[in-house]
Chains A and B, each alone.
Chain A
Amino acid sequence: MKIKEILFNLKPVNWIKGIFMVLIGILNTRYTIGIGRVASNIFIGLPMYFLISISMMLTVLIFKISSESSENNLKNVKRIGFIFGVVFLISYILSIYYVIVLSLNCLSLILVALIGAFLILSVYYLRNWEKKSLLIHIIESLSYSFGIIYGAILNTIMIPIYIFLFFMAAFLTQFSKDIITSYKYLAQEREKTELSFPITFGVQKSQKIAFIFELIIIISLIIPIFIGIYNAIMYLISMIFMVIIFGVISLLTLKLNLELKYRRFMNLLFKAGIFFEILSFILGSF
């Protein structure tokens, strides 16, 4: 695994998307919070989650390089584990500091601790699990989508339901996208005997799982309009595009045989879907 590959697997885009999600979480729960606290949460929450997101993707990297047979300096689980430890520890210490100094709610700290425990335990016990591709997709998706819960928790412990729905939509979008993208490398992975999600859970079955996820995404995106989102009109404008995009994606997922031919434009549709998701979550907070 080379540096370029490592960076590719660390997915810096997810770190950026992650901090966008934190911002969205903060903006969508800000009305009962003072502007001083909102400003602090933005200044503190964004970089903190940036570190957490990096930690998550480092965990993913550990999972991935654990399956590789080749050896080189970069492929070193201990070294990456150490970097993970340092990055996560910084975010954890900062969390403690801010909770004490700014008396942010403790739940944000507990959440960071739980994420840390989950990552460490999963690396420790599930690194060689045969179905670890499931875990990889979960962590990758969380690295992006969990930001919204984190952002909301910084503001309040009374998290509105639409925040969970936003999270669900974002999480499943990333998950579904990753499943579909896996088909691109299906042939190579079979040769390498790597255990990607479609291989582990079945090629046809994975496509069905992705389809179900996409249906849930559509439902999760529609419901917030009816449950007190800040600006339903502006959210609606962007949501219409999202529903159309995910409607098309789900139809294609249902109809196409991705095992025979991977369709590149599906990936583009997902990217467009993610863009409109982020846009509508922001517009909804206006």
Chain B
Amino acid sequence: MTAVTLTVNGTERSLDVEPRTLLVHALRDDLGLTGTNVGCDSSSCGACTVLVDGQSAKSCTVFAVQADGADITTIEGVADADGTLHPMQQAFHEHHALQCGYCTPGMVMAAISLVEEYPGLDEGGVRHGLEGNLCRCTGYQNIVDAVLAAAGSGGD
């Protein structure tokens, strides 16, 4: 077992993991943060997306030991302490950017990173930028609208 210290949603957490433990399993099974979903388990679907040092990462493709010392943000950490939703969550809510909701935590985390990384996104940029996040319900239209709205680039 290897000792790992992660700052998860602003709180330092220490845990002992096998080196082969994937970050997503450390978050879900060791830390109880089950908002991050496991989807395809093969780096394709993006359901497990979290922020590692502020940038989106597929937590099924990162060993927890690689994240030792890193700042991790999961879907549980983006709203304010009083429950006020993050602007991206609020935009998903207002645009009904989900149906079953399984992809939503990863989609929100990927979108938060995307608008930070690419200022001034247009619709094509949002669609290209969310290529790594699959939604099997919505056909993406409302998701794209929500991300554009949160990015301040329009979209209804």
Q: Are both chains from one complex?
A: no
**B residues apposed to A, CB below 8 Å:** none
**A residues apposed to B, CB below 8 Å:** none
